[in-house]
Structure 1
Amino acid sequence: MQYVMLTLMLAAAAVLVYVSITDIRERCIPNRVMFPALLTALLVALARPERWSLLLGGLVAGVLLVLPTLIYGLEKAGGGDVKLGLFIGLVLGWPAILPALGLAFVSATLFAAGGMLLRRLSWRSVIAFGPFLSLGGLLVGALLVLEQL
């Protein structure tokens, strides 16, 4: 069973790395990657014994990440981040999604603060959030895999 978890996490890691690079380069998380990844994550979540935890993780991440989009609009908070968060939540589940999101928000805040201190960013700057979501998902996912070994 631990090899199944490792295989799933490696596949998810590949998606996270790809969308991070794309988000940095193009400021976009491509639907052509996220929709198949989301469908796969949902089907895998439904097939696993801990399905309710995985579905709750996806729901929590989706709801938490849709709020900034509703408040600030799609030009400031992208819909791709919502889909990416939903994907990470479906992979990690509840309650593991919480530290993953926490790491994403803290690392993005530190990056923005550093950019402002170095005068490379301003209060009006918009940064790609996908890489920070991916970082949180990768770190927590790695811990879950290590826990299984």
Structure 2
Amino acid sequence: MPNLTVTVGAGQAPILELIVGPTEATIEALRAAGEPIPLPILVPAMLDTGAGTSLLARRIAEKLGLDPGGERIVIGVGSEGTETGVVYRIRLAFPAVPPMLLASTVCVVAVEDLAKFDVGMILGRDLLSRCVLLYNGPDGRCTFAF
């Protein structure tokens, strides 16, 4: 089982970098239409066991030219209010040589702004449920295996 260990500062959330890109189906559709294929983007992602759904900053979805797949109400992204997010399908990998695939197709909800968390993505339990997560507070490390 491949794994990645990151250092976690005292009182900080675990943050790791992931490669976010269009799904293989999207790439094939773009290729068939003769459209340019967007390059994947390296995105800082915060692991959040309190989030049921994984979130993506809307600017990243737009930069990748992803097609929206509906809307979803999101509650409490850094506030007590609600926000309407847009559902997108993405491909997700760990940066390595070669990249290690985490999910070939996964749905995320794009929200307006995750800048207050200094990340471009929040990994919620929908994705974390596919992994083994070991948080070692005394050593200041978090290991993420899939």
If each structure's helix is expressed as a fraction of its own residues, which one has the higher value? 1
TM-score, length-scaled by structure 1: 0.28
Higher strand fraction (1 or 2):
2
* TM-score (norm. length: structure 2): 0.28
